[in-house]
Amino acid sequence: MNYENKNAFITKRLVEENSKIGFAYREKPDNETDSGWRFFIGNEEQEYVDNPDNLLLYSIEDIIKLDDSIKPILNSGIDTAFEKVNTEFKQVTDFDFGTNL
């Protein structure tokens, strides 16, 4: 997939704490510029994620600059989720896409 002009949501903590991505999922995109990807440190509380002030819209290119370890998962399909185990992302099969971001 070409990610030029595509965006994703990330948590403010990823940027403010200069952290690495520990959890990611892809859902159906909201519009033509949305990739459907959502990126997290992985230990954010649901209350934090539910607050729209804690989410940022970033280009995929800029997210790769923050953490290029996401490159191998970017072509994954809709309704896939991944968590980082050591230094690699592993697919999560029990993620409930109906109740998240």
Per-residue pLDDT tens for 63-82? Answer: 999 999 999 999 999 999 99
Record the pTM.
0.91
What is the rounded CA–CA span in Å between residue 58 and residue 10?
7
Q: Give per-residue pLDDT as tens, 27-44.
A: 999 899 999 999 999 999
Q: Which residue has the tokens 């804690």?
A: 54
What is the rounded CA–CA span in Å between residue 22 and residue 24?
7
What is the rounded CA–CA span in Å between residue 69 and residue 23?
11
Confidence of residue 3 (pLDDT cuts 50, 70, 90): confident
Closest to 24 (Cα-Cα) out of 83, 101, 96, 78 = 83
Q: What is the pLDDT of residue 5?
A: 86
